[in-house]
A and B are shown apart, each in its own frame.
Chain A
Amino acid sequence: DAGVIQSPRHEVTEMGQEVTLRCKPISGHDYLFWYRQTMMRGLELLIYFNNNVPIDDSGMPEDRFSAKMPNASFSTLKIQPSEPRDSAVYFCASSLTDTFSNTGELFFGEGSRLTVL
């Protein structure tokens, strides 16, 4: 498998612009997570989906952030309008719930580094 694929790897934009980050989870995985990593706050869970349905979005910082998962192989995280404090590395991760082995391992993408000027 190719692993979790994120795009773009790097994004530089100006304040006020819309940003869309994309993620393709590992095929067959039923959970998808969006994390944000900053020096100040570490790794924060923003939202996660189960079978394409958002389960917990309590980590989404504000209404400027939205996430969708239109099908099992694609998810987007959108920031509109973007602000300099949104600068961070955004990670997508997926996992497979196996009721027999209960591995619960998260597989992470390489991240999208966002810089908002």
Chain B
Amino acid sequence: AQSVTQPDIHITVSEGASLELRCNYSYGATPYLFWYVQSPGQGLQLLLKYFSGDTLVQGIKGFEAEFKRSQSSFNLRKPSVHWSDAAEYFCAVGSTGFQKLVFGTGTRLLVSP
């Protein structure tokens, strides 16, 4: 069965600094990979997704993620963090047909002034 590990529970980044959130997955076949963001009291919103092709994918709000098969990773990056990026971020992996997603435990991003 597929699984997702997000090793960082909390991360604090200064506003304007770069950000990298880690995600490792376990899946036997080619995975479908997603990053979602959850603001307080809200549902999850899709940031970006990887299905195939170019391993560097661009998403909304200036985020990008890189799929590295050799490392079973799909890390999320942003070159310059804004205070509004403070939220919880979830990595997810899809099974065949991508209808069923397994989510990681999330990383809470705090942005300091």
Contacts and interface: CB of A to CB of B under 8 A. Distances in A.
B is bound to A? yes
A42 B104 contact: yes
A110 B36 CA distance: 14
Main secondary structure of the interface of A (DSSP, over half): strand
Q: How big is chain B's contact interface, by range?
A: 20 to 34
Interface string B48-73: 01010000000000000000000000
A102 to B, nearest CB: 6
Nearest to A95: B99
Contacts of A102: 51, 98
Main secondary structure of the interface of B (DSSP, over half): strand
A34 interface: no
Contacts, number: 48
Interface residues of A, number: 22
Contacts of B41: 110
A111 B90 contact: no
27 contacts: A31-B99, A42-B103, A42-B104, A42-B105, A42-B106, A43-B90, A43-B106, A45-B101, A45-B102, A56-B100, A91-B43, A93-B43, A93-B44, A95-B99, A97-B99, A102-B98, A104-B98, A104-B99, A105-B46, A105-B49, A106-B36, A106-B46, A108-B43, A109-B43, A110-B43, A111-B42, A111-B43
Interface of B: 32, 34, 36, 41-46, 49, 51, 90, 94, 98-106
